[in-house]
Structure 1
Amino acid sequence: MSPTRLVLALILSVLPGVALAQADNLVRTKATNAVIMDVPTGQFLYGKKADIPVPPASMSKLMTVAVVFDLIEQGKLSLDTPFYVSEKAWRTGGSKMFVLVDTEITVENLLKGIIVQSGNDACIVVAENIAGSEAAFAELMNARARAWGLEDSSFANPTGLPHPNQRMSMRDLAKLARHLWFEYPQHRHFFSIPEFTWSDITQANRNPLIGAMEGARGMKTGHTDEAGYGVVGLAEREGIARVVVVTGLGSERERRAAAIDLMDEAFQSFETRTFFAAGDLVGFAEVFAGKEETVPLRIDQGLTFTLHRKILNGASAQIVYDGPLRAPIRAGEQVAVLRFSLPDQKVREYPLYTAERVKGLGVFEKINLGLQALFTPPEGEGA
């Protein structure tokens, strides 16, 4: 018997829905640039002009914070390290921590001033004490950005104040947020501090997600006339963590609404679904001249995807092999492939292996099989 290419369609556990492949077509936001990231995997779930470097405003202070965290991790700094406040830092305009000239402030308090109060003056204190100047600190930021894979970022200062060389993409900001979250878990609490007082001035955390939605953890807002209003937000719910980044909004109200809407979308519309786990039996292949008529097939690689529900609902799978398979068959042989499809995406193929051994028929059983084939009329014909 010559083998024939056999295709078996599998019924997957999907819900009815419209199968649109691109999440970009399924999510709406007023932000000019935006992104949604799944934090555990680093997978980007949605993007709108996500790779375009734009003025990041104070969202780039996350890079300043990351450099400090990195130096603490290396043992070159501690939270208790005192930094001196220069006149230049004291005179720095824009959002302020209200440092006092010719005093010393610990790294811990400066971090709170940067993250909670978005203090430009605190950033200058950090830059001067670590690198000697803003320009030298910016070089340090750029070096770290290259090392951490931030391909669409460049830095000219630690504050995010307007400069033609101060640029970040939404994708890079999300990558940086993930880096901060995973590499320095002992410092996560800084991003959700609700308020901070310095120089007898109490300022609330500007992040619109904190206190406004379940599981919000920070991270940083930004605003200049050039950039508009933006925010990097991270939230956790039931073991799932997502980052959203938006920018280019026209007001604090628009920023708040866009951030909350996109974060709600991140949790409500996207899910992680496992179609097959590693080692699962996915179907059967027909066997010729064997002790069994079929052999079970297993997949060694799990099929888990984090995507928009409507994309997942359009998934389909087929088992493809040249069959029927001729016995004897060893367990663990690759005899088929699983073709897995998602709407408008390239078909993925995964090898399938026999899960059991199938013995061949004995001599007399083969003779009997041959006689059955000889005296069985073709399908559709009567005796």
Structure 2
Amino acid sequence: MDFQDRLQVEGMMIMGEGSWFRRISVLAIAGMVLAACQTASPPGSTANAVGSGAGQEVAVAAVSYAPASTGETRGYSELVMDLASGDELSSLNADAPRFPASLTKMMTLYLLFEEVEAGRYSLSTPLRVSATAARQPPAKIGLKPGSTITVEQAARALAVKSANDVAVTVAENIAGSEHAFTRKMTSKARALGLTGTRYVNASGLPDPRQVTTARDMARLGRALKLRFPQYGAYFRAKSFTFNGRNFRATNNLLGKVAGVDGLKTGHINMSGYNLVATARRGGKQRLVVVMGGQSEGARDEKVTALLEQSF
């Protein structure tokens, strides 16, 4: 266990069942201690490493920030971006820490697509399902321990159904464990300029340490769409079939709002209802992020309104 992990574990032990303020205080102190140690490390050491390529990992403080509210009071953020240029058209609380929920799976998919691009996987490569992956809570597609799912099936299941059992399967096959995979996720986040994001699981299931911002999710959504356009159909699909079962897309705007062609939904009680949506009309491309919607319907209405205004 490295120094970062010891700080995290020891901090959690100190916290026990304490208040949210004590939790943040303890972990923030641990983060400052780690930051001081990183500053003191010589150039080129692991503590000063910045993830900028495949296989590299970045040292991240235990908690450098956290949402100001708990699950009982969800923060709200939004951002509208010109997808082609990356220019921000409007925003509200875009840098406030938020819980990503299943928006997390955009990064899981990004790393999976990188594996295919690098030739380490093909779309037909089988991914082995562990007992750990199979017992993830819903949403899931019901993978069985010892079974396999192809890379293409996994990508479609993540994009359409947001399946947690598939997310862990991808993580374990690529990195050996979900923990190791999340280090790659955070390293890639830094490489992409997502300075307000830290991952501790591959699915987005509840964990107060897993945080992001609306601006970071906009940047990640844009990177995913522009770097891997060949997989655009996965995000446009309104359903996905696996082992004879049909799963409906979680993105309710597909086929209902003109021009919408993706991207990813997310919801846990801690976060409220999240959506990163992309759309194209008359040569214009837009990306809208809404985080912290009070309901699925309210989130969808807000994203639709922001799209209409931006076009």
* 3-state SS of paired residue (1:116): helix
From 103, 108, 117, the counterpart of 2:161: 117
Alignment match, 2:289: 245
Q: Which runs of 5+ in 1 are unaligned?
A: 1-29, 268-383
From 277, 297, 304, the counterpart of 1:233: 277
Alignment match, 1:365: none
* 3-state SS of paired residue (2:224): helix
Alignment match, 2:179: 135
Alignment match, 1:169: 213
Q: Which amino acid aligns with 2:275?
A: V
Alignment match, 2:86: 42
Question: 1:249: how far off?
Answer: 1.2
Question: 1:106: how far off?
Answer: 0.3
Between stretches 118-127 and 258-267, larger displacement belongs to 258-267
Alignment match, 1:223: 267
Q: Deviation per CA, 1:267-316, whole angstroms, max 9, x where unpaired?
A: 1xxxxxxxxxxxxxxxxxxxxxxxxxxxxxxxxxxxxxxxxxxxxxxxxx
Indicate if the aligned counterparts of 2:280 and 2:286 stay in contact, CA closer than 8 A.
Answer: yes
Distance 2:258 2:190 in 1: 34
Distance 1:47 1:98 in 2: 38
Percent identity between matched residues is 39
Distance 1:237 1:76 in 2: 36
Q: Which amino acid aligns with 1:128?
A: E
Question: 1:31: how far off?
Answer: 8.2
Indicate if the aligned counterparts of 1:61 and 1:114 stay in contact, CA closer than 8 A.
Answer: yes
Alignment match, 1:282: none
Question: 1:201: how far off?
Answer: 2.4
Alignment match, 1:258: 302
Alignment match, 1:184: 228
Distance 2:244 2:269 in 1: 29
TM-score normalised by structure 2 residue count = 0.74
Q: How many residues align?
A: 238
1:101 and 2:145 equivalent?
yes
Root-mean-square deviation over aligned CA pairs: 1.3
Alignment match, 1:90: 134
Q: Deviation per CA, 1:85-116, whole angstroms, max 9, x where unpaired?
A: 11111111021122122111100001111110
Q: Which amino acid aligns with 1:258?
A: K
1:53 and 2:100 equivalent?
no
Indicate if the aligned counterparts of 2:75 and 2:98 stay in contact, CA closer than 8 A.
Answer: no
Name the larger-Rg structure: 1
Indicate if the aligned counterparts of 1:98 and 1:199 stay in contact, CA closer than 8 A.
Answer: no
Distance 1:174 1:115 in 2: 16
Q: Higher helix fraction: Structure 1 or Structure 2? A: 2
Question: 1:170: how far off?
Answer: 0.5
Alignment match, 1:295: none
Alpha-carbon distance change, 166 to 124 in structure 1, aligned in 2, over 3 angstroms? same
Alignment match, 1:364: none
Distance 2:115 2:190 in 1: 16
Alignment match, 1:65: 109
Alpha-carbon distance change, 62 to 55 in structure 1, aligned in 2, over 3 angstroms? same
1:149 and 2:193 equivalent?
yes
Q: Which runs of 5+ in 2 are unaligned?
A: 1-73
Q: Higher strand fraction: Structure 1 or Structure 2? A: 1
